[in-house]
Chains A and B, each alone.
Chain A
Amino acid sequence: MAETQGVSAYFFNVLALSPSILLLLVSMAYAISGLNLYIFVPLALVPIAKRFSPSLIKVNTYRIVLIILLLLILDSLASLSHLVPPYLSAISLPASFETVFTLEIALGYLIVVEGIFTQKMFYLVGALVASLADLGELYAAVALMNSSYFGVVLSNFTSTLGSYGLGNVPPMQAALIVVALLEYQAILSLSLHGFMTILPLYSLSLPYSTLLLSTFAVSFLGVIGRFYVEGEKDENFRLEGLFTSVVLGVVISLAVIEFATVFQTYDFQFFVISFLAMVFLIAAVSSSRLTPRDLHL
């Protein structure tokens, strides 16, 4: 019974993470040539190694990986300063855009794989959001590469880097750096002016956009399906509650987004959506205030 539930949970996890999986595949297709396989392959094997490790190592796998990575970075910094013997310099990470790029893709890959194998609902949605944050940047880079003005952006970027003596950067990595800079600019703009002026993905035409939209619909069904199979005895009662809340959620969110578009010219979308989300969050929290009876006093 538990195994069946585990298998169905993996199935719904794959559905829920389908946008991330699509973004990973698209990004990998463009990025594979720019990857440092000596870094990526060992990291890609970590989830498999984890499953065959003794329990003591299994629970600490990512801590161990993180410590090793940090030690390697320390080793790399020491190697740059010629502070370590040659045999330690040999295993240091190359200080290049390629390394950072590889680590970013590996991070997205690890989050997606661990999300697929997770048994906890919160970890699933956490993995979805975290992987979309990471892979969304890569996807934006791909979108930027496909844009008509990418050639101009690339030449400007390369000449700027050249003035700092950093040499040539492959197109995908250059696009990723530009997207990251646009994102930081958006955060800075938000902090300074209270609204966004730069949206990395908003102005770009997205590749596979129809498929991506479908995966988000599938993902929503996957999350709701996972909620449903988590199991409760009174199925009818449960289904009723779940259905009502999903319908309400869809109606409210569509209304919120429609309402937000009214303010498009004033750049108030961010404010409107955030405000309504906060209202719902406060309503949810305040409706569950503890009473003395709750506390069994």
Chain B
Amino acid sequence: MIKKSGYLFLGTLMLGIFEGMLMGFVYFLIFSSILFFSVASEIILFNVYTTSGLRSMDVARFVDTNYVRKGGKLGVRLKFHNKSSRKIAFHYYDTLSDVFTISGPSEGYISLSGGETREIDYALSAWAVGKYAVGPVIVYSEDPMKLCVSSYKLEKSIDVKVSPSLSEITNSRSGLVSNIKFTSGIHKSRVIGQGYNFYGVRPYVISDEFRYIAWSRYGIQTGEDIYIKQMEEERQLDVYFVLDYSESSNFGYKTKRMYDRMIVSSINAAYMVLKNRDGAGFLLYSSVHDAFIPVTRSDESIRKLETKVAEIRPEGRFDLMRCLQRAGEEIKKNALIILVSPMFNADQFRSPHGSLFRVGKRFALILLSPTEFVEWKDEDKNYTTLMRSALVSRSAQIKQISRSLNQAGLKTIVAEDSTLQRRLAVEYQYEKMVQ
């Protein structure tokens, strides 16, 4: 393909020929003609010779596995084979998402003699959960005069699934630090009712059933006093983490993305819930995604979430009212629903009537502020000023949203990335205490 500069170059030289002829300037005519025909020949030779050479290239990709943990290394091997008998020199690059950190030559310039094969090894490491394409491999070559370029897609892409990093959720799983960190002060509320655990006794009143009389305590003080056995009722709390998995969650920069932090914080909070012998479930919701993972009292739901988030990426739009309706349909029991969303778009909470936000369950909405998801570039003062201005505006906006939703009857809290996990824990603890 001739580049724009190539067309301009040829056009200019044709103008030179025309000019030379028009003025009868023979030297200039000869000069322009030689240059024009040299450039034109070079382009034709490149298109015929080099381009057909590129077509005879074979590229194969081999990867260690297509399922990795965030931060884990994924080895990739590219195998280039020149099927033709002549030498081919070309540039290559593997098409990769910006969530990957690359170590090794994923792009470069190589020349292969006829029949030669060369293997290129490099490694990838992802910074966010989700499913990402690796590839295709693009090879391209430029002519010596850099006036045209020929490029080909030589290898289909493969999908790599990235699940949450063990290092980020290990604190909650270890049971050492996490017990002190997250579960201190949380006690199961003792509610008297029907159950198997003995709680205590109290004096008999007329409305009590005879079957609960503690005969072993009969007449223990006055000789005729009667006592009733009290049993402890099991009051376990089911917690659903509902996550806004729309495009608005795909905010942040290479090493820190909003949806990734939402997943990690939710998993950590879910481990804390499980340690307290309560149940944890999840709902990833947007106009495209609707992944409901029912409550379990083991880490099975977390495992399912890890698998699920490795297969999708945030897509579509988020509508608060529809999300609440959807949560209401799936969650039958009286459970605690904690919804985490950045609420970036105005149509995400467009319900004009407070009554429509009625959830019928214990509910908390955590608005995730974008403040800590911005990469600061100290050297670029214009960028810094613009970003600060945008964040100040967004902070005011998000506080206003929070106030409006609170007035409409939805408990709403604003959280930063660094406080998200603590906010989730606080909401859980609060509901645990008041249940």
CA distance A257 to B21 in the complex (A): 12
A201 contact set on B, CB distance < 8 A: 23-26
Identify whether the interface residues of A are mostly helix, strand, loop, or mixed: helix
Q: Give the number of residues in B that approach A within 8 Å (Cβ atoms).
A: 60
Cβ–Cβ contact B1 & A129, under 8 A: no
CB-contact partner of A125 in B13, B17, B87, under 8 A: B13
What residue in chain A is nearest B55 (Cβ atoms)?
A293
Question: B146 at the A/B interface (Cβ < 8 Å)?
Answer: yes
| CB-CB contacts below 8 Å: B139-162 with A | 142-146, 148, 150-153
Q: How large is the interface on A (under 10, 10 to 19, 20 to 34, 35 or more residues)?
A: 35 or more
Question: B10 at the A/B interface (Cβ < 8 Å)?
Answer: yes
B142 contact set on A, CB distance < 8 A: 232
CA distance A249 to B9 in the complex (A): 15
A228 contact set on B, CB distance < 8 A: 144
Cβ–Cβ contact A241 & B144, under 8 A: yes
| CB-CB contacts below 8 Å: B158-197 with A | none
A244 contact set on B, CB distance < 8 A: 41-42, 45
Q: How many A-B residue pairs have CB under 8 A?
A: 196
Q: Which of B30-38, B273-281, B389-397 contacts A (4 or more CB under 8 A)?
A: B30-38
- Give A53 Cβ to nearest chain B Cβ, in Å: 20
- Give B341 Cβ to nearest chain A Cβ, in Å: 36
- Give A63 Cβ to nearest chain B Cβ, in Å: 20
CB-contact partner of B31 in A196, A219, A277, under 8 A: A219
On whether A245 and B144 interact (CB within 8 A), knowing A237-B89, A290-B1, the answer reads: yes
Q: Which of A38-46, A99-107, A183-191 contacts B (4 or more CB under 8 A)?
A: A183-191
CA distance A174 to B111 in the complex (A): 60
What residue in chain B is nearest A137 (Cβ atoms)?
B23
| CB-CB contacts below 8 Å: A244-287 with B | 244-246, 248-250, 252-254, 256-257, 269-270, 273-274, 277, 280-281, 283-285, 287
- Give A189 Cβ to nearest chain B Cβ, in Å: 10
Cβ–Cβ contact B37 & A19, under 8 A: no
CA distance A270 to B150 in the complex (A): 34
A277 contact set on B, CB distance < 8 A: 14, 17, 33, 36-37
Question: A33 at the A/B interface (Cβ < 8 Å)?
Answer: no
What residue in chain A is nearest B2 (Cβ atoms)?
A288
- Among A122, A228, A288: residue with most chain B CB under 10 A: A288
CA distance A264 to B10 in the complex (A): 26
Question: A193 at the A/B interface (Cβ < 8 Å)?
Answer: no
CA distance A211 to B372 in the complex (A): 69
On whether A220 and B34 interact (CB within 8 A), knowing A237-B111, A281-B40, the answer reads: yes
On whether A294 and B1 interact (CB within 8 A), knowing A245-B144, A249-B34, the answer reads: yes
Cβ–Cβ contact B23 & A250, under 8 A: no
A-facing mask of B60-87, CB < 8 A → 1, else 0?
A: 0000000000000000000000000001
CA distance A162 to B2 in the complex (A): 54
B31 contact set on A, CB distance < 8 A: 19, 216, 219-220
A interface list, Cβ under 8 A from B: 19, 120-122, 125-126, 128-129, 132-133, 136-137, 140, 183, 186-187, 190, 196, 199-203, 209, 212-213, 216, 219-220, 223-224, 227-228, 230, 232-234, 237-239, 241-242, 244-246, 248-250, 252-254, 256-257, 269-270, 273-274, 277, 280-281, 283-285, 287-288, 290, 293-294, 296
23 inter-chain pairs at a CB distance below 8 angstroms, sorted by A residue, are A122-B5, A125-B9, A128-B16, A129-B19, A132-B25, A186-B22, A196-B21, A196-B24, A200-B24, A216-B30, A224-B38, A228-B144, A241-B45, A241-B143, A248-B38, A249-B35, A253-B30, A273-B33, A277-B36, A283-B40, A284-B47, A287-B44, A287-B48
